[in-house]
Amino acid sequence: MLQSARGECQDHFAASKKRKVQFSDSLKLVAEHCLQTANPQFYIEMCKLILELQHLLGMNEKTPETWFDYGMFLFGQGNYSGAKDTLRNAIKGYVRLGHTTNAFFLGQCHFQMGVIESHLGHFQEAMVSFQKALESKMMFGKGNMSNAVCYHWLGFLYRRRKHLVKALQAQTRALHEMEKDAIDATSGSFISDSCFELGCIHHEIGDFEKAVSFHQKSLLMREEHVAQFKSNLQSYVHLAVVLYDKSVKFSRQCIFNEVLNVEIVPLLEKAVTLCKKQSQSGKLHDQFPIIMLAHTERLESIKDILSLALKLCRSLCSALDEKNKETKQKMDIIVSDFKKLLKTLVGDSHDERENW
């Protein structure tokens, strides 16, 4: 009889725990529904309730996943400090579990922590996180694509810290592994990002031929396969800047005029047209989608790109003489357009802060 009672109790306990686990999972579904119905505050409260419930039930294997989802939500809201603290809890949970099957999830956490630290401007801390992601052997898909993206981010951070030799090494390795394991459209977008970064690195080194080559390759891929507003805008402006710097350093006046009219001005006109179209649709602002493998272009704001374009335009205008009246007229229009776009961009950002 005692044995039978013990067995009945164990069955009752198991069934009860199963119901509670199911309840916890149901709450997660409700929380996800809150996101779809644009109710972020309720999502936050649901996450806190789920974490409390999982703690009470001793559901240690579930808690890190909830912390991760919660952290990614905060990241998407632009709350980088909150996301950092939350992902730190997720990492602690996965480390505490200590199962090798968690290496995939642990790698995701370290990668996202690196992206968040980059947004906060903590480049050294970000590099440590990306190194840990590599050590965790995080694999989001086939081959070494995720590792290549880590090297891409490391190369980007080395460049931002002016460690150009290390940046070149990391970015070259990233591009090699990406091209080797290119399997889908996502791979193509990262290859274009890596080419863009290599163009920036060679530009800063002073190798203008390679800088132009990589920027042109990146732009071609972005126009044909990626077709995203911000990445295309970024390529138009940066390629125009490299062409200008190259022509100023090496070209005679006649060659400079040809490069200006045939290559630089058309790129700037494309940038203006692209921005006007985006502005008319009400989308001339930075967007930070929550994706597992984030792109480095998110760290250069549209305002920064437009400011760089305007600075280039002013340099071009000062270099034009009276013989270039037609080009000067075009440049005056482009300068006026960029000023209006920047004013619109700043005004919208102010309105968003007021509404927030």
CATH number for the domain harbouring residue 44: 1.25.40.10
Instruction: Quickly list H helices, 181-264.
Output: 185-205, 208-221, 229-250, 253-259
Query: Which pLDDT does position 236 carry in this prediction?
Result: 98
Instruction: Quickly list H helices, the chain.
Output: 2-36, 40-57, 63-76, 80-97, 103-119, 123-135, 145-160, 164-180, 185-205, 208-221, 229-250, 253-259, 265-280, 302-319, 325-355
Query: Which pLDDT does position 38 carry in this prediction?
Result: 61
Flag whether 280 is in a domain. Answer: yes
Query: pTM of the entire structure?
Result: 0.83
Flag whether 65 is in a domain. Answer: yes
The residue out of 57, 86, 103 marking a domain boundary is 103
Flag whether 82 is in a domain. Answer: yes
- Tokens 């437009």 identify what position? 306
Query: Which pLDDT does position 276 carry in this prediction?
Result: 94
- Tokens 């037609």 identify what position? 326
The residue out of 80, 103, 126 marking a domain boundary is 103
Flag whether 286 is in a domain. Answer: yes
Flag whether 221 is in a domain. Answer: no
Flag whether 144 is in a domain. Answer: no
Look up residue 176 and give its two tokens.
């090699």
- Residues spanned by the domain of 339: 250-349
Query: Which pLDDT does position 182 carry in this prediction?
Result: 64
SS3 56: helix
Query: Which pLDDT does position 30 carry in this prediction?
Result: 53
Distance CA 240, CA 138 (A): 37
Flag whether 41 is in a domain. Answer: yes
pLDDT 10s digit of each residue in the chain, 356 long? Answer: 445 544 444 444 455 555 555 545 555 555 555 555 566 777 788 788 888 877 777 777 788 888 998 898 899 888 999 999 999 999 998 888 875 556 778 888 999 999 999 999 999 999 999 999 988 765 554 446 788 999 999 999 999 999 999 999 999 999 998 888 765 556 778 999 999 999 999 999 999 999 999 999 999 999 988 878 999 999 999 999 999 999 988 766 666 788 888 999 999 999 999 999 999 988 888 876 666 678 888 889 999 999 999 999 999 998 887 778 899 999 999 999 999 999 988 655 444 433 32
- Residues 203/245, Cβ–Cβ less than 8 Å: yes
Number of domains in the chain: 2
The residue out of 42, 72, 103 marking a domain boundary is 103
DSSP state of 299: G
Flag whether 162 is in a domain. Answer: no
